[in-house]
């Protein structure tokens, strides 16, 4: 499984209408978590963030909110920002524009947000053009790789601390596959960044 840890320049050049990072002027990072809310994993991520007093942005799957409303309520009550990640974690490349947009709107009846992140980072130009009318489409600057079950936790940690810079939008996942890596790497990365003088904001 190949995936870029640092979003390549050519991809950002091809899709300038998408948000890849925030301002590079200040030492500020944007932690994001995809795919929740999920029992055990999302609460553990929330515990880590709470321990360090950090707010993050959670791109939630609508059907997971339906299944686990109490966990979703905790995310919002603790001051984190919510993003839309479709209702059924759809691949845009394999879904018609009409069905994709309907699925996103269904999810937005639960998340009520203007932030959207395409699952797998895959959407079509036609989908993006329509979505841009109502959403800021958030991609990422740094991919942790925590979803990769072949990746050891220390490599996941190295991925984020070696590639993050001012304004980086960093992707972790609060799902079952990612659990061993995100729960290991997240607190260690946060401590590294805090010691390096970074602050954290929501999108």
34, 35, 141, 174: the catalytic one is: 34
169: Cα within 13 Å, side-chain hemisphere = 21
Buried b (16+ CB within 10 A) or exposed e, 178-190: bbbbbbbbbbebb
CB 19 within 8 A of CB 32: no
21, 80, 85, 173: the catalytic one is: 173
173 is known as an active-site residue = yes
Q: Are strands 169-173 and 136-137 parallel, antiparallel or unpaired?
A: unpaired
Question: What's the CA dihedral at 16, 20, 23, 27 to 10 degrees?
Answer: -160
80 is known as an active-site residue = no
Phi, psi of 82, deg, nearest 5: -110, 140
Give the number of other Cβ atoms within 10 Å of residue 14's Cβ: 11
24: phi > 0 → left, psi -120 to 50 → alpha, else beta; which? Answer: alpha
Buried b (16+ CB within 10 A) or exposed e, 18-38: bbbbbeeeeeebbbbbbbbbb
- Give catalytic residue positions: 34, 173
């Amino acid at each position: 499984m190949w995936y870029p840890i640092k979003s390549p320049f050519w991809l950002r050049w091809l899709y300038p209408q998408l948000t890849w990072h925030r301002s590079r002027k200040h030492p500020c990072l944007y932690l994001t978590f995809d795919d929740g809310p999920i029992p055990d994993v999302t609460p553990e991520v929330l515990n880590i963030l709470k321990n360090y007093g950090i707010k993050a942005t959670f791109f939630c799957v609508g059907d997971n909110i339906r299944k686990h409303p109490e966990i979703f309520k905790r995310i919002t009550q603790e001051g984190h920002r919510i993003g839309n990640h479709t209702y059924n974690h759809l691949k845009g490349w394999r879904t018609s524009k009409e069905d994709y947009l309907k699925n996103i709107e269904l999810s937005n009846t639960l998340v009520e947000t203007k932030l959207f992140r395409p699952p797998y980072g895959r959407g079509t130009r036609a989908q993006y053009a329509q979505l841009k009318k109502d959403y800021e489409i958030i991609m990422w600057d740094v991919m942790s790789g925590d979803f990769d079950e072949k990746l050891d936790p220390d490599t996941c940690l190295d991925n984020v601390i070696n590639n993050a810079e001012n304004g980086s939008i960093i992707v972790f996942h609060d799902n079952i596959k990612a659990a061993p890596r995100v729960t290991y790497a997240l607190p260690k990365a946060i401590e590294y960044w805090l010691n390096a003088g970074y602050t954290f904001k929501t999108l």
